[in-house]
Amino acid sequence: MGTYSTRLRDGGDIARLVTADRKEFQALSMPLTGVRFDRRTLELIDTDHDGRIRVGEIVGAIKFLQEQGVDLQELFDPKESDRARLDELVKHQPPTPEPSAASKAVWAAESVIDAYFAIPDDLPLVTAEPDKPLPLGATLNPKYAPLLKTLIKECALENKAELTREEWSELKSANPRLPPPPKADETEERVLRYKLYLLELLQNFVNMKKLYTKGEMAIFQTGTLRIDSKEMVLCFHVDNVTAHSALVEKSNCCVIYLALKRPGEGKERNICAVVTAGTIAGLYAGRNGVFQDRDGLDWEATVTKVVESQVSLCEAFWAPWRKVGDGIAGAVKKFLGDKQAKALGDVTAATAQVPQQSQSGNGAALASSVAAIGIGIGMVGAAFASIMAAISSMPAWKIAAGVLAIVALVSIPSVILCYFKLRRRDLGAILNACGWAINRPMRMSMSLARSFTVTR
């Protein structure tokens, strides 16, 4: 795996996307956030302004270029003259005035307060009750309290107990929504941005070519993580670690979550990184590393959560032996701990007895216990010596064959199971957790996996 099915080799391939079966698209929908791409181009493609781009809007962008008489082959060779013209349009774009804090507070609470003052359709011409004002005190609904508290603070309403319909209308009139600034020729801007950026979006939406091409980065890859002698480039922005990790388990990938900080600037964010090669023994909550974003800025990174899964056949080969070693170490530790506790208990009990002869008796008991332990160790040593004597009488090839047989019996099933699990790794599940709607599995070859996580 690790290839992309829908080729985009020339303008003809792009034109065919207009009538292509939507099942051929790698993605069906993507968010405008959490990606590194020209934001204005995404906003122009998002024609329904819902914060997401879907297949229909991608096709609409291609149709728009065709209607404007643009040769789609031009997308493969962007012209510097188009970039210069776009820079000129942006340069002469009037800046949007920054609204005041009071205006922002009024706009944020507008829909809620308007709904409160809304007049029912079945209200009679004459009513028995006067127009009900909006109380600004402790009876506020907790759901809307933050909005109204901000409104009270920014609009200097602290001394008012209530807000009438007329006062609310005056407040809105004093803080009208600002009209959008006059835009440059949007048709020309759209043509220029599509010619410069649409192909890259197609290579991240239609077939994920940017992901599957070594040395390049997809728009959803946020940077490079260096930790535990590894360099990982499959890093994704995460808004909610709990919700994200619940979906990531479906990917069959090992994923670590990290909290990022730039202490000097007070910035914080969360990412996840996919471990696709090496081992995961050195990755645990609390482990520190360094994350470099795509702007070249370094962030202090601390692992907060690990979703474990085997990442290589080598790790799978040694996994059963590590379990055996951990089991033996645990048993020895428990045995020695029990013996130490018993010995300490015997000594404590002996010293607590007043009669000297009793202490002497306990000393003898302690000595006999030590002797018993010595006998036990001697028996184990004798058994080990017998085994070694039996092995030493065997030919070398039989010893080697026996060792290989044991190793094969224990390790090969683990390797086989790991192989099939690695083949089922699906990056699409991780992108789905990031808000994408991935249409087809996103597998990776062993070679590509090693390029995503480079080990020493």
User: Which position has the token pair 């086989």?
Assistant: 416
Average pLDDT, the chain: 84
Tell which wins on pLDDT, 34 or 418: 34
H helix intervals, 101-208: 101-117, 145-154, 165-174, 186-205
**pLDDT value of position 319:** 66
Indicate whether 2 pLDDT > 50: no
- Classify residue 387 as exposed, middle or buried by CB count within 10 Å of its CB (0-12, 13-18, 19+): exposed
Is 211's pLDDT higher than 70? yes
Q: Is the pLDDT of residue 3 over 50?
A: no
Q: Which of 51-55, 261-265, 278-282, 356-360 has the lowest mean pLDDT?
A: 356-360
For tokens 């890859």, the residue is: 221
Nearest in space to 280 (alpha carbons), one of 323, 309, 257: 309
Six-digit token string for 105: 């507070």
Contacts 24+ apart (CB under 8 A), 264-269: 267/299, 269/237, 269/299
Confidence band for 389, pLDDT divided at 50, 70 and 90: low
Whole-number pLDDT of residue 406:
66
Q: Each residue of 318-363: pLDDT tens digit? A: 666 666 666 777 776 777 677 677 777 766 776 666 555 444 455 5
Mean pLDDT of 263-288: 92
Contact 226, 275 (CB under 8 A): no
**Using 50, 70 and 90 to split pLDDT, how confident is the model at 124?**
confident
User: Which pLDDT does position 141 carry in this prediction?
Assistant: 79
What pLDDT score was predicted for residue 381? 63
Express each pLDDT in 236-257 by its tens digit. 999 999 999 999 988 999 999 9
pLDDT in the model for residue 358: 47
Residue with tokens 């997809």: 218
Per-residue pLDDT, 435: 93
Q: What is the pLDDT of residues 282-315, one digit of tens each?
A: 899 999 999 999 999 999 999 999 998 888 767 7
Residue 419 has a pLDDT of 74
- Per-residue pLDDT, averaged over 61-69, amounts to 96
d(CA 165, CA 447): 68
Given a contact cutoff of 8 angstroms between Cβ atoms, the answer to whether 212 and 448 are in contact is yes
How do the domains of the chain map onto residue ranges?
11-94+183-212, 107-174, 223-311+431-455, 314-421
Query: What is the model's pLDDT at position 145?
Result: 84
**What is the number of residues in the chain?**
456
For residue 341, give Cα distances in angstroms to 213, 329, 332, 337: 60, 18, 14, 6
> Which among 2-11, 132-141, 429-438 has the top mean pLDDT?
429-438
Reading the block at residue 149, the tokens are 């508290």
Structure tokens at 251: 């990917």
Residue 447 has pLDDT above 70, yes or no: yes
Residue 159: count of CB within 10 angstroms of its CB: 7
Distance (Å, whole) CA 294 – CA 260: 14
Q: Note whether 227 and 301 are within 8 A (CB).
A: yes
Tokens 């020895």: give the residue: 332
CA distance 402 to 298: 52
Of 50-64, 221-235, 308-322, 415-429, the least confident? 308-322
Beta carbons of 196 and 84 less than 8 angstroms apart = no
CA 72 distance to own-chain centroid: 35
Distance, CA of 28 to CA of 22 (rounded, Å): 8
Residue 388: which pLDDT band, with cuts at 50, 70 and 90?
A: low
Q: Report, as an integer, the average pLDDT of 202-217.
A: 93
Report residue 379's pLDDT band, with 50, 70 and 90 as the boundaries: low
- What percent of the chain stands above pLDDT 70? 78
pLDDT score of 430 more than 80: yes
